[in-house]
Amino acid sequence: MKLLYFLADKIDVTFDGADEVDEHLHLIKGGGGCLLQEKIVASCTKDFIAIVDERQVYLLNNIYALT
């Protein structure tokens, strides 16, 4: 998963969205189908910031089942 290391030593910050989030800031990503690409970028980043709006809060386990 360290595929991007040949492009950059380290990515300082990654901003991305999340599909579901709860009041404890647990979140689910990758529901849109780009999970592999997102994991590759996240493995090379120092800080990850997830951006969500109020429609996604309290949805955890409602759209994508947690098993």
Q: Is 38 a catalytic residue?
A: yes
Q: Which of 20, 23, 38, 54 is catalytic?
A: 38
Separation between Cα atoms, residue 61 and residue 30, nearest integer Å: 14
Which residues, 6+ apart, have CB-to-CB distance to 9 below 8 Å?
none
In the block, tokens 């709006």 appear at 53
Active site residues: 38
